[in-house]
Each structure stands twice: as structure tokens, then as C-alpha cells.
Amino acid sequence: MYINLMIEINKKKYVCFWLLLITFLVAIMIIVGGLTRLTDSGLSITEWQLFSGILPPLDTNDWNYYFSLYKTTSEYKLINSSMTLEEFKVIYWWEFIHRILGRIIGLAFILPLIYFSWKKSIHKSFLFPLYSISVLILIQGLIGWYMVKSGLVDRTDVSQYRLSLHLTVAFIIFILLLWNFLKYNDKRINFSYKKLPFSLPLIFLLFIVFQISIGAFVSGLDAGRIYQTWPLMNESYFPDDSNFTDLFSLKVLELPSVVQFLHRNLAYFIFFLFLLILIIVFKNKDFAYLKRDTLLVFASLVIQIFLGIITVISGAQIIIASMHQIGSIILVSTSLILVFKNSKIS
């Protein structure tokens, strides 16, 4: 009996470690993806090579071949026509690392999942959610190539719509992985706590994901490099190069100034929404069990807003903008933990 119990504990430990590792790798993937975008490296590899693409250029002939392919893109012809081979290597490596990480994540998730399933190490209630994540990871790879293709024909950049889809799906995968880790690693027995009204933590998390999606539009349109002032946008609350009616236009997500305006104001809304959660938690002793996690989310939110402001003022300077993206991962993580703590109610 004792031996069987120890075997089950070890199985659970290995599965938890595996889920946490993949969650961490996806977080790294999001960061590298952000840096790939910030360095304008996403169009440096113009072919989809699922298997042969695992090897980088090995000699000068290989480098010249890939550089010649890049020279056919509009990005090179219209923006980077003076680029040297050495400069090309920099953007190539960012995109290469991004793609290799995608392959590593896919294999590191799917192969152990099959093995754990075969060994019956995973509780059957988790099989469908985990296999669904594996399908989503495969779809994400296709979305990545679908995004890159948009920048290879008559554009100097990828479509902001496809970029937003790619980033949003990445965060959905991250959230699903972390959620399943939290559930699998849950050691609590008594869940008889009072739940926050109206699923407020979940609503807050959904707005965070929506804000991240809008943030991808800011990145895709280089909207973070205009209106480098805060709290006003060049001495105006609404951008002076746009009309208020643009907010209701079908092309609202194609206007850099308006997109930055939306991103700013959604941040304000999210802040006040969480202030409401904070007040409810600290004014009602029934929610004392959520105080620590609420403070963690609040600290993450304040830091993230500060980083957002600095990103705007700096004109999306690469290090600060990357820290802002890292902050979004931390904010999503702490928010999801709060949702989890508030959801396990008997």
C-alpha cells in the first residue's frame, strides 16, 4: 500500500514538473516572439521548413542563399536595401530561435503526454484538456506561418490582425498550461470559502487578455512610437490627428493613433476594475484568504502600467518594451492564480 502510494505521488510530481516546464518554455517563447517583433526580424526567414528548418545556415553559401531570399521581400526592397549580410544574420537568428523554440515546445509537450498517457500517469479527467492543448500548439505553429506570409507579399510588415491572433493564442496556451498545473498540483482539501461576486477575477483576467490583444495591434502598427507623452497625447486627451468618429469605424484597428488611445484607456479601465476587487477583498473578512494574491496582482498591475507609460515615453525602446511584455506574463500569471483561488469553492 505504501509503495503504491509513493508511486502515485512520484507520477503526480513528474506530471506537475512537466507542465510547469512547458509553461515556462511558452513564457520564454512569448518573450522571444516579442523581441523578434521589436527587432523587425519576423520576415528574415521566408520559407516554411518544418524539418530542414531545424538547422541554421552552416557556411557562407547557405547564408548568402537565405539572404538572397530575404532580398525578394518588400521589407528589404523598401526599408532595408542597404542591409549587409552581417546585419541580416542578427535578424535571422532572432526568427530562427523563435521557430526552434516552437518546435521544442511542441515535442516537449506531445511526446511526454503520449508517454504519460501510456503509463497512465495522468488522471483521466486531465487527458482531454491536455490533448486539446497539444492540438492548439500545432494550430499555433500554422498561425505563425500564416502571420509571416502576410508580410511577404506587397507589405513591409506582417498583418497586425494576424500578429494579434498569434500573440493571443500564445497567451491562451500559456493560461491553459498554468491552469492545468494549478489544478494538478492543488493540495487543498477544504474549499468552503465565500466566492467573489460576479466572477470578478475572471472578468478581470479576460480584460487583461483583451488588452494584450490590443497591445499586439500597437506593436504591429508601431503605434507605440507615436505620441510619446503621458498622460495626454500631445496636449490632447484624444489624438489630434484623428476624429472621435474613428472609434466607430470598421478600420479602427488600422489607425495607429486610435489604437494607442484604446490601449491607454483600456489600461485605465482595467486599473479601476481591479481597485473594485481590491476594495471588496479588504473590506470583507470573508475574502481574507484572497488578500495576499490580490496584493500580488495589484503590484503586478501597477508595475505593468508604469512600464507601459515608460514604453510610450521612450518611443518603444526595445529593452523597456520587452520588460513591458514580460510584465504582461507576470500579470496574467498572478491574475490566473487569483481566479483559481476564487474558483475552488465547494
Return the C-alpha cell found at 286.
Answer: 470573508
How far is the C-alpha of 305 from the C-alpha of 210, rounded, in Å? 15
Query: What are φ and ψ of residue 210, in 5° steps?
Result: -65, -40
Give the up-direction half-sphere exposure of residue 170: CA atoms within 13 A in the CB hemisphere: 30
Helices 256-283 and 291-313 pack at an angle, to 10 degrees, of 160
Q: Give every CB contact of residue 86 below 8 A, 6+ residues apart in sequence.
A: none
Per-residue b or e along 214-223, where b marks 16 or more CB atoms closer than 10 Å to that residue's CB? bbbbbbbbeb
**What pLDDT score does 12 carry?**
77
Query: What's the pLDDT score for residue 192?
Result: 58
Contacts of 333 (CB under 8 A, 6+ apart): 178
For residue 6, the model assigns a pLDDT of 45
Nearest to 38 by CA among 91, 100, 105: 91
Q: Which residues contact 244 (CB under 8 A, 6 or more apart)?
A: 238
Spatial neighbors of 311 by CB under 8 A, at least 6 apart, are: 224, 317, 320, 321, 324
Q: How far is CA 82 from the centre of its chain?
A: 33
| Low-confidence spans in the chain with pLDDT less than 50 | 2, 4-7, 345-346
* Cβ neighbours of 298 (radius 10 Å): 17
Q: Which residue has the cell 511526446?
A: 111
E-state strands within 41-155: none
Residues in the chain, total: 346
- Please tell me whether the peptide bond between 231 and the residue prior to it is cis, using omega within 30 degrees of 0: yes
pTM across the whole model: 0.92
pLDDT of residue 242: 86
- Give the distance between the most distant pair of CA atoms in the chain: 73
Distance of CA 295 to the CA centre of its chain: 22
What Cα–Cα distance (Å) separates residue 29 from each residue in 25, 128, 173, 316? 6, 24, 11, 20
CA 116/CA 112 separation, integer angstroms: 6
Q: For residue 112, what is its C-alpha cell?
A: 511526454
